[in-house]
Structure 1
C-alpha cells in the first residue's frame, strides 16, 4: 500500500510539473529593444499589465506609477506590456510608446516591447499567463487593455484582475503588502 501511495504521489508531482513553468523562465524584449530576463525578478512580486496609450483606461498609468513609487523596489515591481489588440488603441512604435509614457505619466517601471496578448500571434508570456496548462493555476482571457496579473516571488501566477479594477484597489495593495 505504501508503494502505491508513493507511486501515485510521484505521478501527481510529475503531472503538475508538465506544462507548468515559471514566469522567470522567459526572456523578453524591453521597450528599448534589449533583452530583459524575467529571472532577474526572482524574489519580487510582479504585477504584469497590458497597456495602451489611446484607451479610456490609459489614466491607470498614473496609478500604476504611484503604486510603483510607493511599493516598487526590492520586493515588488510592475512590468508593462504595450499591446494593440483592442480597437487599435496602441498603434505607435516602441519609441512612441516610451515617449508617451515618460511625457504624460513619468513611467519609470519596466516597460517591454509591444506584444500581442491574444489571438494567433499571442506572445509566449501571455500564453503562459492565460493558459492553465502552462501556468498550472487558471485559464483566463485578456478582455481589454490594463488587465493585471499577479505573480508571486517564485514566478508563479497568483491571480488576474480585470481591466477596470484600478491598480490601487485594496485587493492589489493588500497582496503587495502581504507575506506570500
Structure 2
C-alpha cells in the first residue's frame, strides 16, 4: 500500500488520483484558515516554491474538525489562501482527518505514522512527509514549522 492507492477531491471539485504525484516527495498537511497555526501557510508555500522543481509537492487538506477553525466554503478557502498567503500548491476539499468519517488517505497516513499517545490527528497543521514511492516516512506536530522540515525533505529529494 501507498498514498497512490487513494484519490481526493480538489478544492475545485475534481476527483484526482494521488498516483498523479508518483515520483514526487509529498508533504500532506491538514489545514484550517482560522487556526493559530495558519501563518504556516507562508512557510508551506516557501517550501513548495523552493523545492517544487526538485520534486516536492505540498498537498493541503482543509478540515473543520478542531474547534470549527475551518468554517469557510471551498471557494472561500481557496480565495483566502491565495490572497493572504499566496498559496498555489494543490489544495483539496474539506475532509475528516479523524473519527468515523475519516478520509481513507488520512486513515492510511495515521496508521503508518502514528502520533504520540494516539494514531489520530490531534490538531490542524499535522504534517506527513511521504517519499517518492508513496510511503509515509515522518509525521510532524502542528507546532513544527515548515522550515524545520527542510533537512528531512532534502534527504528524500536526494534519493529520487
Structural mapping, 1:25-174, within 5 Å: 25-131=5-111, 135=112, 138=114, 140-169=119-148, 172-174=149-151
Q: Secondary structure at the match of 1:46?
A: strand
Cα deviation digits, residues 96-139 of structure 1 (max 9, x gap): 100100110110000011101011111111111111xxx4x646
Instruction: Spell out structure 1 runs of 4+ moving beyond 4 A.
Output: none
- Unpaired runs of at least 5, structure 1: 1-20
Contact 2:114 2:120 in 1 (8 A): no
- Unpaired runs of at least 5, structure 2: none
Bigger Rg, which one: 1
Q: Secondary structure at the match of 1:87?
A: coil
What TM-score does the superposition give when structure 1 sets the normalisation length? 0.82
Q: Are residues 116 and 97 of structure 1, via their aligned partners in 2, closer, same or farther at CA, if it must alter by over 3 Å?
A: same
Distance 1:138 1:56 in 2: 23
Q: Secondary structure at the match of 2:97?
A: coil
What TM-score does the superposition give when structure 2 sets the normalisation length? 0.92
- Indicate the RMSD between aligned Cα atoms, in angstroms: 1.2
Q: Tell me the CA shift for residue 141 of structure 1.
A: 2.0
Cα deviation digits, residues 22-72 of structure 1 (max 9, x gap): 101111100000011110111111000000010110000011101111111
